[in-house]
Amino acid sequence: MEPVAIIGVGQTAFSSNRKDQTYADLVYEATAAALSDARLSIANIDNIVTASNDFFDGRTISSMAVGDACGAAFGGGKSISTVEGDGTFAAFYGLSRILSGNYDTTLVVAHSKSSEGDLRLLTNAFFDPLTERSLGLDWVSSAALQARVFLREKNIGNIECGNVIVKNRANGAKNPKAHLRKPLTIDEALRSPLLASPLKETDVCPSSDGAAAIILASKSFAQKKSERPIWVRGVGLCADAPLGERNLAESKALRLAARQAYQMAGIDNPTAQIDLIELSEQFSYQELLWLEELNYRNLNRVNLSGGCLSAHAWIASGLVRMIEASLQLRGQASNQISNAKRAVAHGQYGLCGQSHAVWVLEN
């Protein structure tokens, strides 16, 4: 693959209710931040990929409401498309648009306002309407089924999950964009009330409002116009069967997505060769499960931003992982580690992590 660069990143602050801004306003805010970060104007962007979800936005053709906020109408209009799914999937399509030779600069933007709908109903709609939906499950209660299987099979206890929460919340406390910015003690994590056994309240990510944007550029554009490009060296996507048809203690889809991305980037020893990982963990157990499939053992280098357990604006979440990984590689992260050269950013979508995206980024 010809290298493509991330030349601009922007994100809003995440919080439980951004009532002050419509979701189009949030998209504008993230887009403007990414453009300013790249020292470009909207005129330099030749195409756009948005990520949105009609259910979460309560609107058919939800892309229609955000197009103009990210430049779809600028200068007579730009080529624009919309991926429904996590922002990392939109970024993948954005990347392909550049690699196709048709475009030099793709703006990828994703948003969610978790506060505006009822997530229990909206995620209940992920289930088959004939055979499952009327049972009443949602993203939390189905994940609880996965958590129980995984924790038992791998003999993982509350302490290990609690440690993930404590680590991510401590990191989140240092991140000015994060939604939850108060560190949590292990006692608080362990004493937190049950939400859906075995998941406790603190095991579950917050539901946040916010938006995120990145600007991808072709090699020639990035070399000419960017002072600090972050290079995409590998990317892999993979989806799995519905949750009743797979072993929930593992994620074959993530394993395959990682294999593809690692192979492209020439990684054969992830723990030694990757300096940090930004992971999409909606629940504490998922960080442990996803890391097994990513074959990464250095827990302290995971979710230095605080991860999804500190801020989770659904569709925007994976793009935030790419942004935070890029900031680490640029030496500009809120919780900066020294000498970061290579990072992995991960996105997921669907129930119990049905679909995954893995990106390998280098400075």
Footprint (CB under 8 A) of other proteins, residues 321-360: 349-351, 354-355
By CB under 8 A, what part of segment 259-288 binds other proteins? none
Give me the DSSP letters along 111-170: EEEGGGS-HHHHHHTTS-TTTTGGG---HHHHHHHHHHHHHHHTT--HHHHHHHHHHHHH
| Segment (H or E) for 108 | strand 105-113
Residue count (the chain):
363
Q: 113 is written with which tokens?
A: 């306002």
Residue 357, classed as helix, strand or coil, is strand
Using CB under 8 A, pick the residue from 15, 105, 112, 123 that binds other proteins.
123
Q: 254 is written with which tokens?
A: 């993530």
| Residue 205-244 contact track with other proteins, rule CB under 8 A, x = bound | ------------------------------xxxxxxxxxx
User: For residue 303, what are the contacts with CB-CB under 8 A and spacing of at least 6?
Assistant: 167, 168, 171, 277, 278, 279, 281, 287, 309
Residue 263, classed as helix, strand or coil, is helix
By CB under 8 A, what part of segment 44-83 binds other proteins? 53-55, 58-61, 63-65, 67-68, 72-73, 76-77, 79-83
CB closer to other proteins, 218 vs 335: 218
By CB under 8 A, what part of segment 142-171 binds other proteins? 142, 144-146, 148-149, 152
CA 298/CA 291 separation, integer angstroms = 9
CB closer to other proteins, 185 vs 247: 247
Q: State the greatest distance between any 2 C-alpha atoms of the chain, in Å, as a whole number.
A: 59
CB closer to other proteins, 116 vs 188: 116
CB closer to other proteins, 67 vs 229: 67
Q: Could you tell me the smallest distance in angstroms from the CB atom of residue 137 to other proteins?
A: 6
With binding defined as CB under 8 A, does residue 126 bind other proteins?
Answer: yes
CB closer to other proteins, 37 vs 209: 209
Contact, 6 vs 214, CB < 8 A?
yes
By CB under 8 A, what part of segment 89-108 binds other proteins? 89, 92-93, 95-102
CB closer to other proteins, 85 vs 306: 85
Using CB under 8 A, pick the residue from 36, 131, 220, 223 that binds other proteins.
131
